[in-house]
Structure 1
Amino acid sequence: MTIDAGPKTSTEVQEGVSGDAAALVTGVSPVLEVPFTEEGEIDEIGFARVVDHVISTGVSSMMFPGFASEFYKLTEGERSRLLEILLGRTGPRKDVAAIVAVQDHATVLAAKRARQAVDAGADLINLLPPYLLTPSRRAIVEHVVAVLEAVAPTPVVLQYAPSETGTSLDAGIIAGLAAAHPNLRLVKVESSPPGRLIGELAALDPPLASIEGYAGVQLPDAWRRGAVGTQPGCSFTEIYVRIWSLLESGDVAAGEDLHRRLLPYISYWMLDTELIIAAEKRISYRRGLFASDFCRGPAHQLDAEELRRIEVFLEEFSDLLPDLSPRH
């Protein structure tokens, strides 16, 4: 497998190489999946291959662990070991940033985990605000501030995923946080639809950069409104890279056409978080990236029609999704 995709050419990435890790979060920034064995143990070799493959697609950043990583099904030891594997591969590189996610509900634990991740070599922190038992907006802001201060000046991505978390913030609150804490550099916008908030953040003075999540369902609209990147799962990164490249190069019609072809699949899979996790893991397994598509329960069990549609997907996009089996 080819690991080094060669030098990047965009202005943002060149700035990132010179020392600003946040500038590397541009274009496609996949969330890494975690393969398991058939017995339900983490597959360290498979995860290393996931990291190597994602780097080989030419992206300049990646995130772990997110919902796509099944972070809520990992032990502390497993999470630490997988992070060690990731940072062991990204640490020596100046052209790829590792975004390490923090989802702890307790503020003291979130700040501690974020600081430990930075000390271990994380280039950026992705912060998911607390959401269990409906914390107040003030408590959420205090939580975010504590993490920002704990890791400063390391850049932070604030993850705004109201559909998954119920957390409600707005551009004014986020702008105030960024003004007081310059290391709040990006917002991952996963509201439905994300475009309005992306546009509001882009219109701030100074602008606050956004990346679009939610599997790229609204990718073209997010790009038109000023998003600097998209953060989907990683099992078909090549398709997202191609869409983004077409949009950025000015061939907007071709980029939107490719996205229209992808949309029926991702819009169905994103109806449920466990569904898209299972579908993406199945795709990576079928591509030969790792040996099992096992998901720790409770998980979505793909039915016969869902499995058939994955085969249709792999055939339709075969020109962009090469076989990743070790023999290749």
Structure 2
Amino acid sequence: MLKGIFPVLPTPFCADGSIDEAAMARIVDFALASGVDGVVFPGFASEVDELDTKERAALLALVVKRVAGRVPIVAGASAPSVEEAIAHSREAMANGVSTVMIQAPKSIGVSAEAVASFYRTIADAVSGLEIVLQNAPAPRGSDLKPEVILEIIKDNPAILYVKEETLPAGPAITAILKDKPPHLKGVIGGGGARYIIDEYGRGACGAMPAVEIADVHVAIDRAFRSGDVAKARELYMRTLPLLVIQANFRMAFTKYVLTRRGNLTNFIARAKVPPMDRHDLGEIDAWLALVADLFSAAPVPRAVGAAE
């Protein structure tokens, strides 16, 4: 069962805009050193829409090789068409990854019948596939209602998980788990772990945040599961300011923090995200310094660094 912290890995780029494979390997190593329960690649936080087919395939193969079976991998297989989603799913299977996360394209609408047909076509085309149905909020996703999701998954035993990240996600998680079919193994939280305590309190089996503070997210997960909810809340409270900033700058924030933690040399992003100025970097550094004692993997230096 997928359970715990499954960060979505970013895609690092060289100064010339090409893929930095050595840095990708370091990111995988950092995630594993943080104690994660699995990794996700590619996903929205990987800038998947900015990767061509060859880059996407090569990076997935690199992640699989680097992980070397130590933790489960969830491969992103979302695409604008069912044919492309099938191709991505087959690529994952060829790399030994049987669990894929798929968001239905907005073009097919939000009716249970149409979305169910989309997932059923993929399951029928790729034998042995295990699907995580990703339900993202508008405008990126279709913002499917819990009753629609339940209708979609009830006759599709290949859909074993739902990643629920609509806003607010909590009531949706409660509704899905209350009436879930027997084959659905769990609901996973999203939203960059900004709501992880609420999600876990409602029965989510895990979370898929970004990777830059994965070691602290693992600590939150372990504290909550051990029954020390007070400790989980304290860790969450201390890191929440960083997650609020991350919501604005997305991949660039993740990469900047990874540079501060010694895993990357730049925070170049292909995706169109707001630029961070010196004040933004100073704020990030200040908050990192306040939580540096929580980091167990590749600790952040307490010096301000880039914003000086």
Give the TM-score normalised by the residue count of structure 2: 0.90
Q: Deviations over 1:265-289 (max 9, x none)?
A: 212321x4xx121111100011110
SS in structure 1 at match of 2:161: strand
Partner of 1:319: 293
Question: Distance between the aligned counterparts of 2:185 and 2:97, measured in 1?
Answer: 21
- Does 2:132 correspond to 1:157? yes
Whether the 8 Å contact between 1:159 and 1:187 is mirrored in structure 2 is yes
* d(CA) in 1 for partners of 2:60, 2:44: 15
Label 1:318 to 1:297 Cα distance change in 2 as closer, same or farther (>3 A): same
Q: Using a 3 Å threshold, how does the CA distance of structure 1 residues 117 and 267 change in structure 2: closer, same or farther?
A: same
Q: Is the 8 A contact 1:114 1:150 kept in 2?
A: no
* Structure-2 separation of matches of 1:297 and 1:161: 18
Which among 279, 289, 300 is matched to residue 263 of structure 2? 289
* 1:230 maps to 2:207: yes
Cα distance change, pair 322–257 in 1 and its aligned pair in 2 (3 A): closer
- Aligned letter for 1:75? D
Residue aligned with 2:294, SS: coil
Give the CA deviation at 1:256. 0.8
Q: Secondary structure at the match of 1:298?
A: coil
> Do residues 309 (structure 1) and 283 (structure 2) align?
yes
What are the superposed Cα offsets for residues 42-74 of structure 1, whole Å, 9 maximum, x if unpaired? 100000111122122222211011111111111
Q: Aligned pair 1:169/2:144, yes or no?
A: yes
2:49 counterpart (59, 72, 78): 72
Q: Give, in whole Å, the separation in 1 of the partners of 2:147 and 2:260.
A: 45
Whole-angstrom distance in 2 between the partners of 1:245 and 1:322? 14
Aligned to 1:56: 33
**After alignment, is 25-34 or 254-263 more displaced?**
254-263
Q: CA deviation at 1:106?
A: 1.1
Given that 2:10 and 2:46 are in contact with CA atoms closer than 8 Å, whether structure 1 keeps it comes out as yes
Q: Kindly report which structure 2 residues correspond to 1:193-204, keeping only aligned pairs within 5 A, or say none.
A: 193-204=168-179
Q: Which of 240, 248, 252 is the equivalent residue of 2:225? A: 248
Shift of 1:323: 6.9
Q: CA RMSD in A?
A: 1.9
Q: Distance in 2 between matches of 1:67 and 1:182?
A: 25
Deviates more, 1:162-171 or 1:150-159: 162-171
Deviation at 1:127, TM superposition (A): 0.4
Using the TM superposition, give the Cα deviation of residue 172 of structure 1 relative to its aligned residue in structure 2, in angstroms: 2.9
Equivalent residue pairs, number = 296
**Runs (5+) with no aligned partner, structure 2:** 300-308
Counterpart of 2:253 in structure 1 is 279
Q: 2:234 corresponds to which residue?
A: 257
**Alignment correspondent of 1:187:** 162
The percentage of aligned residue pairs carrying the same residue is: 29
Q: Quick check: 199-208 or 75-84, which moved more?
A: 199-208
More moved, 279-288 vs 255-264 = 255-264
CA distance in 2, matches of 1:268, 1:287: 17
Show the counterpart of 1:213: 190
Code of the aligned partner of 1:160? N
Secondary structure at 1:165's aligned position in 2?
A: coil
Offset of residue 136 of structure 1: 5.0
SS of the aligned residue for 2:264 comes to coil
